[in-house]
Amino acid sequence: MSLTPIVAEIDQEISRLQQARDLLVSNGTGMKKKRGISAAGRKKIAEAMRKRWAEKKKAQKRTI
């Protein structure tokens, strides 16, 4: 009975596990990072929403 095929299979499995580990380590947790929004971006969105709300409120007052 030859051990060569068994050793070859073990080597292949080790190689697959090392590749999986490298992928996980290189990307941190293996997932994409969530992007945050900058303070300037939040301010811009808030201003736009206030403007929309004001226009909507103004339009409702006209219909009453």
User: 């219909």: which residue's tokens?
Assistant: 63
Give how many domains the chain has, as a whole number: 1
Q: How far is Cα 21 from Cα 1, in angstroms, rounded to an integer? A: 33
Which range of residues forms the domain containing residue 13? 4-30+38-63
23 and 30 Cβ atoms separated by less than 8 Å: yes
**Tens digits of residue pLDDT in 35-55:** 889 999 999 999 999 999 999
d(CA 45, CA 18): 45
Query: Does the pLDDT value for residue 9 go beyond 60?
Result: yes
* Segment among 3-7, 10-14, 25-29 with least mean pLDDT: 25-29
Question: DSSP characters for 38-60?
Answer: -HHHHHHHHHHHHHHHHHHHHHH
Using pLDDT thresholds of 50, 70 and 90, give the confidence band for residue 59: confident
Q: Report the half-sphere exposure of 32 (CA within 13 A, side-chain side).
A: 3
